[in-house]
Amino acid sequence: MPERTIVINRDIQSERRAAAEHRRQEFTRQKTFVVNLVSSPGAGKTTLLEATCRYWKDRWKIAVLVGDLATQRDADRLRPFVPVQQLTTGGACHLELSLVEKGLAKLPQEHFDFLFIENVGNLVCPASHDLAEHLRVVLLSTTEGDDKPGKYPKMFRTSEVMVITKMDLLPHVPFDVDRATVDSHLIRDSMEVITVCSLHDEGIHNWCQMLERRREQLFSEVDVPCST
């Protein structure tokens, strides 16, 4: 049978990427700064969000979407502080934009200054899924080892900030903050590194300042009128 070869050269994610880009622009117009938190399971994403809410209190309007395979546990922890929706993936190892949209529809329809999306604990698959965030933050806890950036290059390459968590455990574990920092800089030269102990509200000031600074940068850029 005769055959015909058609050249395509199209990324299979190109439509999804375009949709995420479109959504990101919408968030920007609404002046909602969207942060996607990624890490291995238990690195301290929810605890960091609890500390963030404690620190800011009513300073900013915050909403949280939190992804897990099952249960409402993380949403229950954050509900005393802010509007929150649990996204249960039913087994999937990462969040996708469609799930985020569903969660957003269930949040109060009001303006938020910050939207935090806590991804499913996993250092692999969430790296490939753009959730229309402005900032991707990867958490690395001191109990995981300082060699992780190089072992999960895509996750660390696609993140702009690395938060080293559980700093209170440093005396008990062989974790070298400098080594983790250097390793992350081989993957991403411009990685901003922040150290925290969310349990005792340490480093949260720096973390929150970084978020405010980046939000301001983004929106002042947006405010600049187009020069003709």
Partner 1 sequence: MHEMSLVRSLIRQVDLIAAENGGGSVREVSVEIGPLSGVESELVQSAFDQVIAESHESPMTLTIRETPLVVHCLQCEDDCEIDNFIFRCLRCGSGHVRVIRGDEFRIASITLDERVTHA
C-alpha distance from residue 66 to each of 45, 166, 192 (Å): 10, 20, 24
User: In the bound complex, what is the minimum distance in angstroms from residue 82's beta carbon to partner 1?
Assistant: 29
Q: Which of 42, 83, 145, 150 binds partner 1 (CB under 8 A)?
A: 150
Tell me which of Mg ion, ligand GTP, partner 1, none is bound by residue 187, counting a contact when its beta carbon lies within the kind-specific cut-off of 5 to 8 angstroms. Answer: partner 1
Name residues contacting partner 1, limited to 89-118 (CB under 8 A): 92-94
Closer to ligand GTP by CB, 59 or 172: give it: 172
20: which 2 tokens? 């995420």
Contact 94, 116 (CB under 8 A): no
Contact 180, 156 (CB under 8 A): no
Contacts by 180-185, CB closer than 8 A, 24 or more apart: 180/140, 180/146, 180/147, 180/148, 180/149, 183/146, 183/147, 183/148, 183/149, 183/150, 184/149, 184/156
Contact range with ligand GTP by CB under 6 A, out of 16-24, 28-36, 165-173, 212-220:
165-173
Q: Which of 20, 35, 38, 43 binds ligand GTP (CB under 6 A)?
A: 43
Instruction: Quote the CA–CA distance of 83 and 101 in Å, as a whole number.
Output: 15
Taking CB under 6 A as the rule, does residue 23 contact ligand GTP?
A: no
Residues that bind partner 1 (CB under 8 A): 1-13, 92-94, 124-125, 127-128, 150, 153-154, 157, 185-190
Contact residues toward ligand GTP (CB under 6 A) are: 39, 41-47, 68, 74, 121, 165-166, 168-169, 197-199
